[in-house]
Structure 1
Amino acid sequence: MMETVSRDLFDRVMVPNYSPMGTVPVHGSGSRIWDQNGKEYIDLSGGIAVNALGHCHAVLVQALVEQAQKLWHVSNIYTNEPALRLASELTQRTFADRVFFANSGAEANEAAFKLARRFGINTGGDAKYEIIAANKSFHGRSLFTVSVAGQRKYSEGFGPAIGGIRHVTFNDEVELEAAVSNATCAVVLEPILGESGVLPATLSYLQRARELCDKYGALLIFDEVQTGMGRLGSLFAYEHYGVVPDVMTIAKAIGGGFPLAAMLATDDAARHLSVGTHGSTFGGNPLACAVGEAALHYISQPDVLQGVTSRHTYLVSSLCELGKRHGLFEGVRGIGLLLGCVLTEPWKGRARELVEMFLSHGVMVLQAGPDVIRLAPSLVIEQGEIDEGLARLEAAAMLLSHVQRSTSENVEI
């Protein structure tokens, strides 16, 4: 007899590395999701910037179904048509000459960091292996990627971290200049620190990183796992800033929800991963690449990218007004549809609590650290869905401000 599927089952059968909400989604359409009880939610989280076209977008469903009737998998002893078409499209639309496919952002970054080490040693000898990265960055959960990311909470308790990695303060050009040397093989940066508060890089910081990499013969790597695929209103963040890296990693939205990732590189960088130096069993899977090709074509449309900018303006204005009315947000930062609502002093450290409160009012949001509510909705979220989501946030905020006032009055008494 089939056991009833519920949130309680998670605690009995799943490894306890997650602590999911009580809601169990079962169906989605556009930016709306329904749970097991039929309750509807407005999704402003986008599966953490994954569902760039919302849930069950017809174009992606069609691509997946058509490919599923042709070919699901061949080993990397062979290549396949969807992978070649998608790789060709990506090189035509970016600075890159070469593509390596993987299944997740962590895998794409693992490939990029291995490439950086190989590049450094091949071009500068055994001493050229240092990677410079930003404190509070996030690049995945493999041992290499958590070592590169500057967050000890993700790397502690697993034995010695991978060596040869130096961390600097994000957006601090002086620290960056002091860290980069002839021993540096790569500087790795997120154009926006997503997990640590939605903090955009300054243009001068990225420009200085480019200059330092050129000066010392190092690779500039942009982790665009979260910022890529139209999220900022340009296809990729490097275009928004006008600073071109040597290597870029993408994931999340490239598959629109189907597991897919890629590392893109120039010819000069890519040649150092020669035959046998790296691989992935499922990387370049025909199903994933067929969906990725459809997602790339759709997101690349000028009206989709322009729509991100107009939605940004509307959302930021509305969220700022809402936050001010209820003493909840001291400001909203971010670019495009990667937004961070910075909590006011009374609510600092309580982001998880607010995420749960908003969920109870039928709207899905994220946190970015303890002090920031993060939004990463579908790039094509409809105006009605935005307004409904804002109305539900408003209702939750009214209740929160009432509770806060009552608590303050009781303290004063």
Structure 2
Amino acid sequence: MDYIQMGKEYVMNTYNRYPVVLVKGKGAVVYDEQGNEYLDFVAGIAVNNLGHCHPSVVAAIKGQVENMIHCSNLYWHIPQVELAKLLVENSFGDKVFFCNSGAEANEAAIKLARKYSKKKYGEHKYGIITMQHSFHGRTLGSLTATGQTKYHEGFEPLVEGFKYVPFNDIDALKDAIDENTCAVMMEPIQGEGGIYEADEGYLRKVRELCDEKGLLLIFDEVQCGMGRTGELFAYQHYGVQPDIMTLAKAIAGGLPLGAMIATDEVASAFKPGDHASTFGGNPVACAAGVAVIKELLGGVIDNAREIGEYLKSRLLELNKTHPVINEVRGRGLMLGVEFNMQEVAEVVNRAMKKGLLVLSAGHKVVRMVPPLIITKAEVDKAVEILDQVLKEMEV
């Protein structure tokens, strides 16, 4: 059966999909319907942090499905409370709101920031400043927060009240603040925009500026959170705490789940009826989330830190031998390889044909976000394939 042709006939055309039908995954390896094996350095776009079908996640899902699949948020259920407790105990936050995706988590953060600021300072406080090259989601609010015009085109008019400034430019941020500003929203490490890290000291200056001006600081850790950078949350590298943080992607081991975490003071602006999500904090997803955090804290984060340094060192070796590579950047197992070419699609396609899955982050960057359980041997295999691809392209 031709599932690719069937998909083109029945599925809406919103993705440029590769001509591969994946049917199985185990650890850091996936298989297509012909039985071909691929080393997965995409991990569902930084979702499968524990790899595919991790035994703890599978067991948690099976156990919960046998007891209760869905529970309305009109009632309490145990997995949601347990997951909220784990998130609070291991972060800056005091309260958690659950939803289904990163876009929804960022929508919730935007709403909470406006509600809190209007209650505290007045109705004029609604403006939010975000960063150029940022990515915050596809819903209209999170799309507007995204500092890339290519995602805005065709969806105007956008939501009122957003400004964009260059990342790592504290003076530009200062200049953008006005009497309407209520919050600054950013990714500590930009993912979709090209794997750009916050400079040392920049986040501290932003925190100080927000405190001085009475602004909320929102960290979008949808991609860089949940152990991806070698800490449970990326902000922990910088010693700077936000007022609100958003999570999704890897939080439930592959099931749809998002979360917004906030301090007690900020969270208190939301009252019953202000925000909601029918499926947010679903019992099965939360049960998986509990298993994920326990595994991350049980040693997987340490592996991400160690293997991330090893992968970066191997990529830097490639940088020395292949002039087509301009720069290697990132932290932990969230790395980007920038190339001196207009488009990296050929690199991605050639690697896939040789059994390595990678993806782009913009036109010139190959993004590498493998499962955090990846081994040195698997890193060596991936780098060998990438080396072969570049040698072929340079002939």
What's the TM-score bracket when you normalise by the shorter of the two chains?
over 0.9
**Aligned partner (choices 203, 207, 210) of residue 207 of structure 2:** 210
SS of equivalent to 1:203: coil
3-state SS of paired residue (2:130)? strand
- Partner in structure 2 of residue 380 of structure 1: 373
Q: Give structure 1 stretches of 5+ with no counterpart.
A: 403-413
CA RMSD of aligned residues (A): 1.1
d(CA) in 2 for partners of 1:159 and 1:383? 47
Q: Is residue 2:109 matched to residue 1:112? A: yes
- Contact 1:32 1:42 (8 Å CA) reproduced: yes
> Aligned partners of 2:180 and 2:213: how far apart in 1?
8
- Partners of 1:290 and 1:308 lie apart in 2 by 23
Residue 259 of structure 2: aligned partner? 262
Percent of matched pairs sharing the same residue: 45
Aligned to 1:406: none
Letter in 2 for 1:53: L
Task: Determine the C-alpha separation between the residues in 2 that align with 1:207 and 1:258.
Answer: 34
Q: Match for residue 20 of structure 1? A: 17
Q: Hey, what does 1:323 align to over in structure 2?
A: 319
1:188 aligns with 2:181: no
The amino acid of 1:208's aligned partner reads K
Question: For residue 353 of structure 1, what is the aligned residue in structure 2?
Answer: 346
Q: Which has the larger radius of gyration?
A: 1
Q: Deviations over 1:349-371 (max 9, x none)?
A: 22122111111111000111111
CA shift, 1:11, in A, is 1.4
Is the CA contact 2:231–2:305 (under 8 Å) kept in the aligned structure 1? no
**Aligned to 2:227, what secondary structure does the other structure show?**
coil
Q: Deviations over 1:251-282 (max 9, x none)?
A: 11111111111000001110111110000000
- Bigger Cα displacement from structure 2, 167-176 vs 383-392: 383-392
The yes-or-no answer on 1:95 pairing with 2:92 is: yes
CA distance in 1, matches of 2:320, 2:200: 29
Q: Using the TM superposition, name which of 306-315 and 133-142 deviates more.
A: 306-315
Shift of 1:5: 4.6
Shift of 1:389: 1.8
Which residue matches 2:332? 336
Give 2:280's match in structure 1, choosing from 280, 283, 297. Answer: 283
In 1, Cα distance between the equivalents of 2:25 and 2:369? 16
Q: Which letter does structure 1 place at the counterpart of 2:160?
A: G
**Cross-structure match for 1:222:** 219
How far apart, in 2, do the equivalents of 1:105 and 1:373 lie?
Answer: 22
Q: Distance in 2 between matches of 1:134 and 1:331?
A: 21
Q: TM-score, normalised by structure 1?
A: 0.93
**1:289-321 Cα deviation digits (max 9, x unpaired):** 0000000111012x3222222212211121122
SS at 2:201's partner residue? Answer: helix
Whether the 8 Å CA contact 1:82–1:293 is kept in 2: the answer is: yes
TM-score, reference length from structure 2: 0.98
* Matches of 1:5 and 1:51, distance apart in 2: 27
Give, as a single letter, the amino acid of the residue that structure 2 aligns with 1:308.
A
Structure 1 residue identity aligned to 2:30:
I
Any idea what SS the aligned residue of 1:381 has? Answer: coil
Map of 1:313 onto structure 2 = 309
8 Å contact 2:228–2:332 — kept in the other structure?
yes
2:238 counterpart (232, 238, 241): 241
Q: Structure 1 CA distance, aligned partners of 2:48 and 2:2?
A: 24
Structure 2: give runs of 5+ residues left out of the alignment.
none
Distance 1:203 1:250 in 2: 23
Report what 2:44 is aligned to: 47
SS at match of 1:392: helix
**Cα offset for 1:331?**
2.1
**Residues 182 and 216, structure 1, Cα contact 8 Å, conserved in 2:** no
